[in-house]
């Protein structure tokens, strides 16, 4: 049998094992071998397309330059892979726990569903559930062409830009003059036909009102014909003119995945310039300096910054953003992000204020950007007398929309069961002891009764023997025996 000291050691050993429970841990994946269950959170990537075309860059008689740029902006959104995490196997192991952990991903490798159950082997099973609905709002691409006159110092544009604009201006003036001449010739021809018709015998002359109406309609028709002719000529345009147009055009396609690293006072934003600006194909050094200069007054002349070359794309969230806390790459629970809701804007030079103003190039569009939300850590712990079940579900283009956590603790019930068992054991032990005590008492009683019976019997036998002796003393005859 075990002595009392050995029994104490064996009793405390399982208690130490039970108290040494672990918790689910999630680590940020930084590359290399994955020793655990990986999952990836979704992110929103904005595809920004900006089309530029210089329409005017000329100097007037006062030495001021009129600079016009037409701009068209389109933004679309798509869901891409964001942060990647790993649930290491060692955080799922425990002597007194059964852990099931499975992760399902979409074809794009973003998290689709997570099913986790940590069952306690030491107590009855209770099930809790966490339900989450995840979705992302798609962005509808929009565009808005915008041009604005501005005053600037001389020599803002390079020579080849000015030459291209002059070539197109001459071609346009030539086409307009040709269309006007064609319209006049057509009108003159119609008048001649009308005069001949009036002189032919048997042909009624047109009423004056009708002739006047026709004369008014013919030039318009001629203009339409001239426009069609100009369009046809443009379709088969001189290669030199097409080359000139290309010098004045630029398209920028930028894929931007907003992060909190781009955080500013109003949200997150980036600035986009056409590549021709930095390469020096469009602007002179003076123009580059003026691009980001503030509007200022110099004497009687007003010089404006170039407002249409710099395009700012901004995501402004409904709630002010807070920088992510510094982490060591490890989180004490399952990690997701609370959704960040806001609007996407595209502006000339800068996005200021909360309302749409004359600097806006795009009607603000509602958007959900998962990667800008705050972290939500669901603590799944391998605790004694507890069971937790986590079910997370994401849509194909999803971000976390709501989350809750329910912990089904078994401590009270298990403790109650344990106390009940202890009470039952105590009662059983007391009852058993009582039975033992009662049996001993009854045995003693039986022995006492037996002794009394023997004493009475012996007394009766002695009395019988004494009586027989008295008979013998008087010479009597004794009949029978004493027993």
Same domain, 274 and 377: yes
Judge whether 103 and 33 are in contact, CB under 8 Å: no
* 63 in the same domain as 35: yes
Distances (CA, A) of 297 to 52, 367, 403, 474: 28, 40, 55, 169
pLDDT at position 178, please?
Answer: 81
How far apart CA 351 and CA 422 sit, in angstroms, is 72
Taking the C-alpha atoms of residue 45 and residue 185, their distance in angstroms, rounded to an integer, is: 58
**Residue 468: strand, helix, or coil:** helix
Q: Last residue of some domain: 220, 247, 274?
A: 247
Contacts 24+ apart (CB under 8 A), 453-457: none
Q: For residue 413, what are the contacts with CB-CB under 8 A and spacing of at least 6? A: 123, 124, 126, 385
Do 126 and 271 fall within a single domain? yes
First to last CA, the chain: 53
Six-digit token pair at 474? Answer: 């008087």
User: What confidence score (pLDDT) does residue 212 get?
Assistant: 46
Per-residue pLDDT at 388? 62
Residues spanned by the domain of 465 = 411-483
| Residue 202 pLDDT | 53
The whole-number pLDDT of residue 428 equals: 53
- What does the pLDDT read at residue 300? 37
Whether residues 285 and 397 share a domain: the answer is yes
For residues 472 and 384, membership in a common domain is answered with no
Indicate if 19 and 104 belong to the same structural domain: yes
Length of the chain (residues): 483
Number of folded domains that form the chain: 3
3-state secondary structure of 128: coil
**Beta carbons within 8 Å of 402's beta carbon, 6+ residues apart:** 132, 133
CA distance 391 to 395: 14
Q: Which of 218, 247, 276 is the last residue of a domain?
A: 247
Residues 138, 9, single domain; the answer is: yes
What is the C-alpha separation between 157 and 65, in angstroms, rounded? Answer: 9
Identify the pLDDT of residue 217: 46
Domain boundary among 247, 271, 288: 247
* Distance, CA of 429 to CA of 347 (rounded, Å): 85
Coil/strand/helix, residue 141 = coil
What are the structure tokens assigned to 398, written together? 């999803």
- Statement to judge: residues 383 and 477 lie in one domain: no
Q: Which residue has the tokens 């798609």?
A: 138
Determine the pLDDT at residue 295.
Answer: 41
Q: What's the CA gap between 92 and 98, in Å, rounded?
A: 9
Rg over CA atoms, the chain: 50
Q: CA 78, CA 110: separation in Å to the nearest integer?
A: 13
pLDDT in tens, 244-278: 888 888 888 989 999 888 887 778 888 888 877 66
pLDDT, block means (10 residues), the chain with 483 residues: 43 38 75 80 88 79 70 86 81 56 63 60 34 29 29 63 83 79 78 66 50 48 46 58 82 90 82 76 75 46 57 87 82 80 84 63 82 80 59 50 46 40 52 69 74 74 76 68 69
Question: Both 10 and 132 in a single domain?
Answer: yes
Residues 279 and 396 in one domain: yes
Task: Based on the fold, state whether residues 320 and 189 are members of the same structural domain.
Answer: no
43 with 84, same domain: the answer is yes
Question: Which backbone phi and psi does 275 adopt, to 5 degrees?
Answer: -60, -25
């Amino acid at each position: 049998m075990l002595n009392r000291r050995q029994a104490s050691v064996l009793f405390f050993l399982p208690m130490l094992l039970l108290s040494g429970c672990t918790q689910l841990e999630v680590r940020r994946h930084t590359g290399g071998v994955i020793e655990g269950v990986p999952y990836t959170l979704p992110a929103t990537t904005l595809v920004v397309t900006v089309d530029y075309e210089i329409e005017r860059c000329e100097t007037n008689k006062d030495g001021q330059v009129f600079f016009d740029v037409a701009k068209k902006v389109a933004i679309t959104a798509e869901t891409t892979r964001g942060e990647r995490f790993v649930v290491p196997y060692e955080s799922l192991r425990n002597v007194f726990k059964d852990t099931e952990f499975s992760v399902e991903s979409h074809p794009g490798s973003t998290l689709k569903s997570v099913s986790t159950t940590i069952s306690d082997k030491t107590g009855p099973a209770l099930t809790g559930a966490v339900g989450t609905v995840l979705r992302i709002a798609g962005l509808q691409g929009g565009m808005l062409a915008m041009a604005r006159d501005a005053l600037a110092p001389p020599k803002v544009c390079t020579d080849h830009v000015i030459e291209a604009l002059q070539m197109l201006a001459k071609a346009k003036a030539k086409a307009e003059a040709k269309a006007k001449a064609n319209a006049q010739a057509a009108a003159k021809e119609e008048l001649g036909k009308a005069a001949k018709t009036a002189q032919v015998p048997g042909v009624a002359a047109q009423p004056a009102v009708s002739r006047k109406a026709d004369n008014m309609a013919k030039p318009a028709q001629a203009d339409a014909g001239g426009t069609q002719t100009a369009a046809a000529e443009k379709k088969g345009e001189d290669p030199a003119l097409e080359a000139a147009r290309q010098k004045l055009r630029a398209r920028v396609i930028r894929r931007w995945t907003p992060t909190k690293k781009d955080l500013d006072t109003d949200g997150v934003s980036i600035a986009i310039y056409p590549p021709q600006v930095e390469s020096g194909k469009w602007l002179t050094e003076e123009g580059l300096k003026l691009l980001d200069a503030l509007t200022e007054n110099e004497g009687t002349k007003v010089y404006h910054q170039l407002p249409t070359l710099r395009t700012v794309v901004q995501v402004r969230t409904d709630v002010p953003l807070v920088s992510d806390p510094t982490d060591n790459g490890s989180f004490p629970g399952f990690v997701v992000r609370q959704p960040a809701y806001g609007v996407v804007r595209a502006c000339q030079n800068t996005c200021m204020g909360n309302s749409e103003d004359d600097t806006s190039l795009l009607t603000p569009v509602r958007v959900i950007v998962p990667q800008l939300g705050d972290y939500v850590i669901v603590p799944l712990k391998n605790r004694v007398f507890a069971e937790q079940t986590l079910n997370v579900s994401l849509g194909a283009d999803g971000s976390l929309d709501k989350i809750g956590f329910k912990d089904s603790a078994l401590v009270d019930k298990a403790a109650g069961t344990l106390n009940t068992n202890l009470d039952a054991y105590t009662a059983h032990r007391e009852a058993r002891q009582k039975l033992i005590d009662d049996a001993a008492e009854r045995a003693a009683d039986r022995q006492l009764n037996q002794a009394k019976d023997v004493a009475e019997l012996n007394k009766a036998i002695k009395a019988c023997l004494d009586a027989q002796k008295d008979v013998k003393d008087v010479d009597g005859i004794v009949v029978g025996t004493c027993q």
